[in-house]
Amino acid sequence: MARTNNAELNDYERQRQENIAKNKALFQQLQLDAASTGIGPKKASSKPASSAGQKRKRPEKRIKEEIAPRRTSSRLRGIVADSEVAQQKAEEERVAFVEAEKAKRQRVSGDLNLGDVIVNGGQWNQSGNFLSRFGPANPGERTFSKQDVKNTSDKELRALRERISGLSLWKDIEPARIKITPERIYFMGFHPSADKPLVFAGDKMGNLGLFDGSQDLVEIKAEDDDEEDGIENPVVSSFKIHTRTISAFQFAPNDPAALYSASYDSSIRKLDLNKGVAVEVWAPPELDADEPLSGVEISRSDPNMLFFTSLEGRFGMHDLRTSSKDSQSLMQLSEKKIGGFTLHPIHSHLVATASLDRCLKLWDLRKISGKGASRLPVLVGEHESKLSVSHAAFNSAGQVATASYDDTVKIYDFSKAGSWKAGHTLSEEEMKPRTVIPHNNQTGRWVTILRAQWQMQPQDGVQRFCIGNMNRFVDVYTSKGEQLAQLGGDGISAVPAVAQFHPTQDWIAAGTASGKLCLWM
C-alpha cells in the first residue's frame, strides 16, 4: 500500500512541474510578443538605485498641446452673420457723416440775406441802418509800466504815451460779456465812420460779428428777492456769411457801406450793410475747387480792382465790373503759404507779401511777364528772416511792418517808391529793415497769429501800430520802435491776439480765441 502511494505522488509532482514549466514558457512568450508591439513594460534602468537619503526627483509634467479645429467660414458652418448688417449700416453712417462735413465746408453760391444767416437766435432789424448814429505767456505781467510812460525827455512823445495809455475798456464792461463771434476770431476791423465805434470780427467758422460801441446799457431791475440789480448785456449781432474761416476783410474806399471779406471757403463776398445782402464777387469756376484765401484788399487808386492771396502761395487780381469767370489766372508768387499781403496806399502797383518761406517780398504789378499760370510780376526785392513771416502791412507813409516767428517786428522803409520806374529793383542793403522791435510772437496752436496793424490816417501825423501781447495785453508802437502803451484791464482772461486800430480815432479793438471783444476808447 505504501509503495502505491509513493508512485502516485511522484506522478503528481512530475505533472505539476511540467505545468509550471509550460506556464513559465507561455508567460515569457507573451512578454516577448508585448515588447515587440510596444505595449510591454519598459526595461529597468541600468543606473544604480539612489541612496535612501536622497529625494526622488519628480518627473516633469508635460503640457498636452491642444490641437485647434481648422477655421471655417460662418456660412459653411451654417451660422448667420448678424455683424454683416451692422457693418454695412456703420459704413453707410460713416459715408453720410463724411458727406455732411464736406457740405458744411463747401462754398455756398448766390446771395445771402443777413436775416437768413443770423447766428445763435440773435435779432436783426432789417429796417435799421448800421451806419446811422441812431440805428441798431505770463498773464498779467506788464513789460511797459506807468513809469515807462513818463520815462522820456521828449514832451511830444510823453504826451502821446499818456493819451494812448489813458484808453480804457468800453464802459468798464468785462470783455467776457461781449462775445462778438461764436468761435475764435481771426480778423477784426472798424468801420471808417468817426461818429461811433462799429467793430466787425470774422471767426473760424465763417461768422461775421458786429458790435455797436455807441449803444447804451439799460439797468435791469431785480424781479425776485434772490436776484440782484444789474446791467443788461451789450447787443451783438453775428451772421454766417461764409462756411469756413474769414481770414480778412476790408471796407471799400469809395463805399463805406460795402465790406469785402475773404475766406478759406475759396470765396470773396461783398456785404452791403444798407441792403443786408452778402453777394459773392469772386470764387473759382468749379464749385468743389479748393483755394483757401488768406487776404483781400481793394486798390485805393482804382476801387474797381480787387486783389487777394491764397494759402497755396498764389496771388490774384479781379476787376469788380466783370464776373469771376472772366478773372485772370492766379500767379504763383510763393512755393509756400502766403499769410498776408498789402498794397502800397498811394502806389497800388506795389504789393508786399509775407510767406511761410521766411521772406518779405516786394512786387511791381506794372510789369508782368509770362502767360497763364506762369505769369509773374517783377520782383523788386526780398528780405529773409530766420523764421516764418506771418503778415505784412503798409502804412500811409510807405513803411511796411511785419511780424515773424523769430520774435521780432520789423519795419521797412519804401517811402521813395514814387520815384521807381517799372522794373526797378532794390539791393540787399535797401531791403533791410530800418527798425527791429523784439516781441514775443509764439502764439502756438490755439491763439491766432499776431499781426502788426497800422492806424491808417493818424490825425497827429505820428505813424503807429498795435499788436497783441501774449501776456494778455495789446502793445502800441511808433514806426521808430518807441512803445506808446500797453493796454489791459480787469476781466481779460485770454490773449487779445487780433488787434486793430480805427483808421482815424484812438480806438483799439482786439479779439480772443473764445470770440470775446476787448474795446479801448
Annotate 149-207 with three-state secondary structure. Answer: HHCCCCHHHHHHHHHHHCCCEHHHCCHHHCECCCCCEEEEEECCCCCCCEEEEEECCCE
Per-residue pLDDT of the chain in tens (521 residues, 90 and over written 9)? 545 555 555 777 888 888 888 888 877 777 766 666 555 555 554 444 444 445 555 555 555 555 555 665 655 655 555 567 778 888 888 888 888 888 777 787 778 877 777 776 666 655 455 555 545 488 889 999 989 999 999 999 999 999 999 999 998 788 889 999 999 999 999 999 999 999 999 999 999 999 999 998 876 554 555 545 567 889 999 999 999 999 999 999 999 999 999 999 999 999 999 999 999 999 998 888 899 999 999 999 899 999 999 999 999 999 999 887 777 789 999 999 998 999 999 999 999 999 999 999 999 999 998 887 789 999 999 999 999 999 999 999 999 999 999 999 999 999 999 999 998 999 999 999 999 999 999 998 899 999 999 999 999 999 999 999 999 999 999 999 999 999 999 999 999 999 999 999 999 999 999 999 999 99
SS (H, E, C) 98-148: HHHHHHHHCCCCCCEEHHHCECCCCCCCCCCCCCCCCCCCCCCCCCCCHHH
> Cβ–Cβ contacts within 10 Å for residue 323, how many?
12
Which H helix or E strand runs over 410?
strand 408-413
**Best CA proximity match to 477, nearest among 453, 495, 513:** 453
Class of residue 51 by CB neighbours under 10 A (exposed 0-12, middle 13-18, buried 19+): exposed
- Which three three-digit cell numbers place residue 347? 502806389
pLDDT of the residue at 51: 47
**Best CA proximity match to 132, nearest among 46, 55, 193, 203:** 193
CA angle 314, 318, 323 (to 5 degrees): 125
Partnered with residue 261 across adjacent β-strands are: 249, 269
Residue type, 501: F
pLDDT of the residue at 206: 97
Size of the chain, expressed as the number of residues it contains: 521
pLDDT of the residue at 444: 84
CB 361 within 8 A of CB 331: no
Tell me the C-alpha distance between 110 and 261, whole Å. Answer: 15
Beta strands in 213-347 (DSSP E): 219-220, 230-231, 236-240, 246-252, 255-263, 268-272, 277-282, 293-298, 305-310, 314-319, 331-332, 338-343
